[in-house]
A = this chain, B = another copy of it.
């Protein structure tokens, strides 16, 4: 079983290249579908949509849809439109998130809202969500529609949950897991589950694909949240400190609060509640997180969920796609180290 090896492979760096390669032919079709469905006579729509969609995201979620359809032996065409739908849902969420978080940057570029305004970000997000549902309806699988429409509602619910928890120092680890399970992992889970639905797979295989996506999604978000404080090795990524400045109660902060003495408690309250989040405070926060083990433990928990994702694939026989999906988990975890 993959659990022990996750994030610790010394032979070669973990990579998603095997996954990219196995789905590349289908992914070309998805990319063409994405391009054609952002088209509109209203010039602002393809401008805003393509600014974001063509900005070099890895397109991990649609790749997962294609991979699980293949893993389950699906031979039709429906997975192309469902993969494009999943990417549209993701990008709609990003456009709305940027408005909610008042973010200036996204994927190393100016956020759409900085170039076209909040209005355009909200409305083009709505357009992408509408187009996503149109594609799903064209595929005609009520099972896939059920999973993806439920995901849309749960994602929004998770985002509101996060909004309600913002700056609330009483947030627990369970609260945090509920938020990331809803806002991030649900779309990963749905992306993976629609493949076996199209393929008419057994309930056991369908549940396995969903579990893979759900656990990978949680691990992915945990890693993201650790990287926002520089990760375990204190790498300086370009977005370090965003969550800190927004007062987000991510796991590194939740753990730091649990482990704080009175002086540290006062520091976190000033940062989260009173917005004292300058460079000096950020450096102090990162120092505390290394000293109290919060970053190491966040990465460790990511490794735990990554292991669950890999184990969930046990119901499938060994083969190139299963191996690619295992390496994808390892790649996502390795980012934290």
Interface residues, chain A, with chain B CB atoms under 8 Å away: 40, 42-45, 96, 99-100, 118-120, 122-124, 126-127, 129-131, 133-134, 136-137, 140, 142, 145-146, 149-157, 159-161, 163-164
Contact = CB atoms under 8 A, between A and B. Distances in A.
Contacts of A151: 130
A155 B145 CA distance: 21
Contacts of A140: 142
Contact of A157 (B96, B122, B127, B137): B127
A129 B131 CA distance: 13
A161 B40 CA distance: 10
Contact of A149 (B124, B134, B159): B134
B149 A42 contact: no
B123 A149 contact: no
Contact of A153 (B134, B149, B164): B134
7 contacts: A118-B118, A122-B122, A124-B156, A124-B160, A126-B129, A133-B153, A134-B153
B119 A100 contact: yes
Given A127-B153, A129-B129, A133-B149, A160 B100 contact: no
Contacts of A126: 96, 129, 152, 155-156, 159
A44 B157 CA distance: 10
A130 B142 contact: no
A118 B163 CA distance: 11
A42 B133 contact: no
- The interface centre, meaning the residue of A45, A140, A149, A150 with most chain B CB atoms within 10 A of its CB, is A149
Contact of A137 (B124, B142, B160, B164): B142
Given A129-B129, A130-B155, A164-B43, A123 B96 contact: yes
Given A127-B157, A142-B140, A157-B127, A164 B133 contact: no
Nearest to A163: B119
Given A45-B160, A129-B156, A137-B142, 17 more contacts: A40-B157, A42-B161, A44-B163, A44-B164, A96-B123, A96-B126, A99-B99, A99-B119, A123-B163, A124-B160, A127-B153, A130-B150, A130-B152, A130-B154, A136-B149, A137-B145, A140-B142
B99 A157 contact: no
Given A100-B119, A122-B122, A123-B163, A156 B130 contact: yes
Given A42-B160, A142-B142, A157-B40, A122 B99 contact: yes
A332 to B, nearest CB: 26
Nearest to A101: B119
A165 B133 CA distance: 27
Contacts of A160: 40, 42, 44-45, 120, 123-124, 127
Contacts of A43: 164
A146 B133 CA distance: 9
A118 B101 CA distance: 10
A236 B137 CA distance: 45
